[in-house]
A = this chain, B = another copy of it.
Amino acid sequence: MKELEKLFNRIVQRVNINLRELHFDVSPYAETLFPSEQMSKFYAFYGITPDHPLDLHFEHSALAGSYFLGKCRVRNSLLYKSDIRGDELKRKDQNIRFDRFSLTMNRDELIDIEDSALVKTLVHNYSHDPETPEKFYIKDTLAMDYSNIHGSPCDGSFLGPFATVDLTTMRDCAIGTYSYIQAGEISHMDIAPGTIWVNSSGNFNFFYKYPSDALDEYVSLSPEKVPWGILIDFIEQRKVEFQRVFDYANIESIESVPKTSSLDRYAVVLPNMRIEGNVLVSQRAYLENSSLGKGSNAQENCFIINSSLAGYNVTAHGAKIVEADMGSGAFVGFNSFLFGKKHARLRVGKGCIIMPHTIIDIEEPLEVPAEHFVWGLIRNAAELAENSISLEKLGTLRGAFSQGRMHFEGDGLLLFKAFKDRISHILDVNGAFFDNGQKAGHAQKNQRLSLNTIQPFQFGDMEGMYPNIRIFP
């Protein structure tokens, strides 16, 4: 048996051992995960910048098409077209506060991936677990297509396609397809597909679950089949454009971009883009015939097509905006799918918060009023009314509150503030507020980023595996 296959089988066994109490067997899903003939085809790459510590360590792993930035160690793992973006890891001597605790980092934080398989997964941010501040670990974990592991140490877990764990430590959990979990610390949970759960113990608890039949049209997962649905088709149809950017060692600059903005070399930029200042366009973003207003960002795996972003807009990892006009400061969370049509344009008012994993798929024009909080599945005005609330009203909620399939408990003002603070933080670290040499963020710093490649064995038993590689300054 080839080394790649052995390694994969071993990872599947390890995840299954961890998930045994849930009686969850990842094998049938894992089967279709790695096109083994692709594993030797794609190079992996890493960023070098004067702004982030460099320490990469790859050991007995396959890394096809994956990207690394910052301090990362990958051992006995399979990463396929995954982005391991350690540009927000904590630094040595940095003082960290968690609630009433304060801690000084005695070394730079490291992303440590071991015995895991990640497919088209985004790993970003830093360990929000105060118990392991120096290590953002992902072990014995299998993450499927377009999942996000964001600031979330994971141990022995499974993430279905388009699943997101955000600022959450997770042990022995299975996160269903298109579920979004932000819940501090969870263990031994089997989360059903289409669950949107934002929980801050003692403060607030937000819960929504997609109707299964409706969600299935967008993304479905069955044993022994690759994931399918509208979301998958949407991405597949645009795959060929990514091919081009990865095929060339040196690609010509495509569009004029202001000096305060940065356009990643592995982003797809199709004609008629207007990009203003302080804009960050990340790896594998896809931009076409749109305008990105000042201080906007287009994060990894996002798509922005035939749309306008007024300014200071966050388009989070994996979010898709099509035929839409986004008001100033409007935020679109992870993996959301805003799917206007030529004949049915979507307008999102200023200051709106589109929750992660929201689907807006309309056949008639629709307008989300300014300063609204929006979630779940919205296909018309009635569903918008059911799945949104003004931020003003959200701020007044205390105790239990239900609306449609959404249930809320706690202090609405705290939820509102948590989102607003976070959006402002995201804009800040991305360099949206850069002014006169002050407040530089990723948008400015990434201009000093260069991308280097590493490649796998092409022959023999080790085909598709990478040599052991250690890179440091």
Report A's interface with B, CB cutoff 8 A. 43, 48-50, 54, 247-250, 448, 450-455, 457-460, 462, 467-473
B471 contacts A468, C-beta separation under 8 Å: yes
CA distance A452 to B458 in the complex (A): 10
Chain B residues whose CB sits within 8 angstroms of the CB of A468 once the complex forms: 470-473
Contacts of A470 in B (CB 8 A): 468-470
Residues of B within 8 A of A453 (CB): 249, 452-453, 455
Contacts of A54 in B (CB 8 A): 467
Known pairs A247-B250, A248-B248; A467 contacts B458 (CB<8 A): no
Give A465 Cβ to nearest chain B Cβ, in Å: 9
- Cα separation A321 to B467 with both chains bound (whole Å): 39
Cα of A194 to Cα of B470 in the assembled complex, Å? 44
- With both beta carbons as reference points, the residue of chain B lying nearest to A457 in the complex is identified as B48
Please name the residue on chain B nearest to A49 by beta carbon.
B459
Question: 10 A-B Cβ contacts within 8 A?
Answer: A43-B452, A50-B459, A50-B462, A247-B249, A247-B250, A450-B455, A451-B455, A452-B453, A467-B471, A467-B473
A448 to B455, CA, bound (A): 15
Report B-chain residues with C-beta under 8 Å of the C-beta of A50.
459-460, 462
A397 to chain B, nearest CB (A): 49
Measured between beta carbons, the chain B residues less than 8 angstroms from A48 are 455, 457-458, 467
Q: What chain B residues lie within 8 Å of A472 (beta carbons)?
A: 467-468
A363 to chain B, nearest CB (A): 43
A248 closest partner in B (C-beta):
B249
Closest residue of B by beta carbon distance from A454: B452
Alpha-carbon distance between A448 and B458 when the two chains are bound, in angstroms: 8
Q: A249-B249, A448-B459 are in contact. List 17 more A-B contacts (CB 8 A).
A: A43-B452, A48-B457, A50-B459, A54-B467, A247-B249, A247-B250, A448-B458, A448-B460, A450-B455, A450-B459, A451-B455, A453-B455, A454-B454, A467-B472, A467-B473, A468-B471, A470-B470
